[in-house]
Amino acid sequence: MKAIILAAGEGADISPFSDTRPISMIGVAGRTLLDNTFALLKNAGINDIFVVVGHKSEKLIERLQEQDHNGLNLHYVEQKRKLGIGDAVLKVKNKISPGEYFMLLYGDTLTAENIFNKVQQSFHAFKCPVASICLPPSNQMFGNVFLNARMEITKIIEKPKGNNLGNYVLSGVFVLSSSFFKLLESSGKSMEKALKKVVAGEGLRASMWEDEWLDVVYPWEILTANKMIMDSWQESSIAKSATLEANVTLQGIVHIEPGTIIKSGAVLEGPCCIGEGSYIGNNSLVRSYTSVGKNCSVGSGVELKNCVVMDNSQIGRLSFVGDSVLGENVDMGAGCMTVNRAVDWKPISVKNGKRSIKTGMKKLGAFLGDGVVVGAGNTLQPGMVVPPGKILPACYTVSQK
C-alpha cells in the first residue's frame, strides 16, 4: 500500500517555528515529526511514500534528498499555490492506480505507538474505506464523527458549533480507494464534502485509536509532543563515539548521539536526549524531557528543564531554559533566564502576532524562532514569542555613561 503525507500547510498558529519550516520538520525528542512518521510507516510495512510539500518546501525537499531513509522509497509532489487540503490530495492522483487503495495522513499529527498498523488491520477486517478516530481532550478544533453500532461513520461535521459535538474526532489517517479523487473533483476539492460522499456511498468504517494522539497546532504543543515520544522509550542509548568525562551522572533513560561531549560534573536526568556533535559544559544540569539537537553548545552551569533546543543552537554559561522551545541557530548569551511561571501562579497566555491565546498551563517559558540572538543577562517573561532573526541586546545594569 502507498502512503500520501500531507505536509504543505503553513500552520500560522505554531509561529515562530512554522515561519521558517513546514510543521512536519519541527524537531522533538531527537528527530523531526516527519522522521517519526517515516519510522512508523516502515514498521507498518509501507515503503512507497509520497510527500505533498508546499510551505517552505525547500527545507523539506533538501532533507528528503540528503537523508538515508533506510530502504523507504520517498517521493515529493509540490503544491505551489495554497488551495487547500483537497487540492493537495489531488496532486498525487496520477500516482495511484485505478482500483488501488492508499493511505492518506496528515504530517502535523503525532503518535508514539503505531497508528498505521491499527488502520491497516481495520482496513483488512472491513475491506472498505477506513478513517482513524480518537478521543482528544477537546473535540472543538477537529472534524467530529458520529458512529452506529457497527463502527460505521454516519456523519462528519468538519467545524462543529455550539453543542453539536460528537464524542470522537478524525485523527488524520485514512485508507481510501482511487475513486476518492473523482469525489474530490466533483466536490469542488472539498475534503469534507468528498468524505461525506464516501459515507453516503460505499461507506466509511471507523478504526478506533485509543493510545495517545496529538495534532501539533500551537508552539507549546511541541513540548507535549516531545514528552509523548520520550515516554515511549524503553532503554538508554549511548553512542560509542560519545565522550563522557569523569563525574558525569546519568539518571533514567538517556539518548546520547555520536560525537557528543559531556564535560565533568554534568548531570543528565532522563528521559532526555543529546544530539550528534553537541557539547554539554561542566556542572550543567539537563533535566527530564529535554531534547538538545545536533551541533549545539551548552555552557557550564546551565540548567535545561523540559525544553526543546533545535540544531546548531548555543546557550551561554549560567543560563536557565525551562518549559521553552528554541529554534535552530539560536544564540543565547551567558546568564539568561526564561521565567516559566507567573508570580501568582495564574495560567499563562501566549501572545503570538496579534492574538493572545490562553494555554491553561501554569508553567511555560519562551519560544524563540530560528536565528534569534539573546544578549547576555536577559530575562524572558513567561509565554514570550520571539520571531526568527530577532536580536535582543545584552541587558546591562551599568553603562559606560
The mean of the pLDDT values for the chain is: 92
pLDDT of residue 64: 79
Q: For residues 323 and 337, is the Cβ–Cβ distance under 8 A? A: no
Q: Which helix (H) or strand (E) holds 124?
A: helix 115-126
Of 139, 143, 195, 209, residue with least CA distance to 167: 139
Which residues neighbour 302 within 8 Å (Cβ) at sequence distance 6 or greater?
281, 284, 285, 315, 316, 317, 318, 319, 320, 321
pLDDT of residue 221: 95
Region(s) of the chain under CATH 3.90.550.10: 2-218
Region(s) of the chain under CATH 2.160.10.10: 230-392
The burial of 128, by beta-carbon neighbours within 10 Å (0-12 exposed, 13-18 middle, 19 or more buried), is given as middle
Architecture of domain 2-218: Alpha-Beta Complex (3.90)
The string of DSSP letters for 377-395 reads: T-EEPTT-EE-TT-EE---
Q: Which amino acid is at 365?
A: G
Predicted confidence (pLDDT) per residue in 59-70, tens digit: 888 887 776 667
Whether the pLDDT of residue 397 is over 80: the answer is: no
Predicted confidence (pLDDT) per residue in 329-343, tens digit: 999 999 999 999 999
Predicted confidence (pLDDT) per residue in 99-111, tens digit: 999 999 999 999 9
pLDDT of residue 151: 87
Please give the class, per CATH, of domain 230-392: mainly beta
- The total number of residues shown for the chain amounts to 401
pLDDT of residue 67: 66
Mean pLDDT of 95-100: 93
- Band (pLDDT 50/70/90 cuts) for residue 394 is very high
- Band (pLDDT 50/70/90 cuts) for residue 162 is low
